[in-house]
Amino acid sequence: MIPGMNVPVGRTVKRVVLETVGWLLVVVGVAALILPGPGLLAIMAGLIVLSQQYEWAERRLDPVKRRALREAARGVSGPLPMAVTLFGIVALVACGVLWTMDPPAPSWWSLPDSWWLPGGIWTAVTQFGSAAIALGLMIYSFRRFHGKPEALAALDEEDRASAQRAEQRAGRRAASR
């Protein structure tokens, strides 16, 4: 116990750690929506962590999860989306290799040499990591959704059920006012 307070230290530490990790994942996820990386996955992971402490995070988790799953299904819906995803994975690996090799700035580079391939080896590590995550997600999506209309129908059913729950919550809130 913290002296003068009725809060056990372990519970307080756990809450601070969960909140820090959750918010960090959400911020990284928002950044990854613009930058290379699995943005929705990081946001979803952050909401999962935050939902341990906050009801609002739990409510927002379902729509993000369904959106991520829909995008996963769309990504393996045909040869073109899969080819684009594979091209992105190969491009990430190629950039990671380039950053790892750290070649000198080319003659056409007009900015200072320090701006050529910034970030060094850690940029390469994140590119390789992003490629591995993207490949893993593509394999997962292919196995779960490709050629399986029943999996998409289950997502549609979850959407309908979620909309009904939202209407019920809105009705309860309106009735309590």
Question: CA–CA separation, 136 vs 130, rounded Å?
Answer: 10
The H or E element spanning position 128 is: helix 121-145
Residue ranges covered by each domain of the chain? 1-66
pTM above 0.85, yes or no: no
**Amino acid occupying residue 163:** A
Using one digit for the tens of pLDDT, what is the confidence trace for 76-119? 888 998 999 899 999 999 999 999 998 999 999 999 988 888 88
Using one digit for the tens of pLDDT, what is the confidence trace for 134-163? 898 889 889 988 888 888 788 888 878 877
- Residue 1 pLDDT: 52
Question: CA–CA separation, 127 vs 106, rounded Å?
Answer: 22
**Amino acid occupying residue 119:** G
